[in-house]
Amino acid sequence: MPQPTLPAHLPATLPRERLRALLQAAPKAELHIHIEGSLEPELIFQLAQRNGVALAHPSVDALRAAYAFTDLQSFLDIYYAGASVLLQEADFFDMAWAYFLRAQADNVVHAELFFDPQTHTERGVDIGVVIAGLHRACQQAQAQLGISASLILCFLRHLDEASAIATLNAAMPYRDQFIGVGLDSSERGHPPEKFARVFAQAKAAGLRLVAHAGEEGPPAYIESALDVLQVERIDHGVRCTDSPALVQRLAASRMPLTVCPLSNVKLCVHPTMADHNLPALLAAGLCAMVNSDDPAYFGGYLNTNLLATFDALPQLGVAEAWALLHNSFTASFATKAQQAAWVAQLDAAFAAA
């Protein structure tokens, strides 16, 4: 199935500065955001003080200086340390609300937030506290900011499947407050099939299914996520280009890939942004879109990712900008009517550019 085509009535080319302005002003959806990864150092220190948590770094600047990662695991070590300040419902609300304010500034109209309950329950925080704080922020984002938002519960793949099953069971009393499940954390050595039973259980419960695959892991992990876990979206997926047959399969099915460019560079998946394979993904007809992943750690929220991508990859133009934003809506778990309304807003923004 081909990439959606820029409608004929929209401008096919724009001066670079006008394209940059359009990228910032256009409505967009974010489908790959770890809410714990939006926890900025300033808020970490505020919550640490509020909750009496001792931190390993003496200051905001010292903590931010530690954000020099060599791979996914070196990031996760810092990430889990930062999450240690999250103890009360108000902490989870404050973290999510801070993200929504930044999302509003980036003209995000829909966000599907990943959260990692095991990161907190293993520290003795009740899963109901986690979900309640995040859900309240989602409700307030809709009411006060006009941002449609929902939650996706992610399992930590470095833990065993029994822990994932226990987490899903513990979350089911709050089933009306999250829409799906995902799979994140350390990819190497933890193939998707490790979690076959818990994903089957989640599917039987009517939950939507996504999984990280093909970031540091091989194309085979993407195939396992599709065939064994039966996911509806692949998070990252950039390693698919190592397998031409897989690229063809993903293009034919229009399987969404929630690509995170700054994250890929920060974690050394690609050496520089100029080396990123996003143009190749789009040229192959893949349903790719840009997301921020863990923006507090990787250098920027959604608009920063878009601008950095287009600045480094001049072959990307108006048609690619429209396709990326269009894909972000159609790959969402919103209703078809909501998707259509957002696409209409997107077209109006491009028509006015």
Q: Which of 325, 322, 331 is nearest to 255 (CA)?
A: 331
Cβ proximity of 46 and 243 under 8 Å? no
CA distance 239 to 286: 13
- pLDDT tens for each residue of 30-57: 999 999 999 999 999 999 999 999 988 8
- Residue 298 CB neighbours (<10 A): 23
C-alpha 43 chain-centroid distance = 20
What domains are defined for the chain? 16-351 (3.20.20.140)
pLDDT at 79: 85
pLDDT at 76: 81
pLDDT at 2 over 80: no
| Mean pLDDT, all residues of the chain | 96
Q: Are 143 and 187 in contact (CB under 8 A)?
A: no
Residue 1 has pLDDT above 70, yes or no: no
Q: What is the pLDDT of residue 17?
A: 97
Q: In the numeric block, which tokens belong to residue 12?
A: 């096919």
pTM for the structure as a whole: 0.96
In the chain, beta strands by DSSP E: 28-34, 108-115, 148-156, 180-184, 208-213, 233-236, 256-259, 287-290
Looking at 40, 215, 216, 223, which residue is catalytic? 215
* Burial class of 55 by CB neighbour count within 10 A (0 to 12, 13 to 18, 19+): middle
The per-residue pLDDT for 292 is: 98
Query: How far does the chain reach from its first CA to its final CA, in angstroms?
Result: 28
Active site residue 215: yes
Q: State residue 136's pLDDT score.
A: 98
| 75 pLDDT more than 90 | no
**Res. 253: pLDDT tops 60:** yes
Residue among 248, 178, 255, 175 nearest 213 (CA):
255
* pLDDT for the residue numbered 72: 79
Q: Quick one: average pLDDT of 86-109? A: 98
Kindly state the DSSP code that residue 284 receives in the 8-state scheme.
T
Residues in binding site for Zn(2+): 32, 34, 212, 293
Binding-site residue set for substrate = 294
pLDDT at 305 over 90: yes
Mean pLDDT along residues 89-107: 98
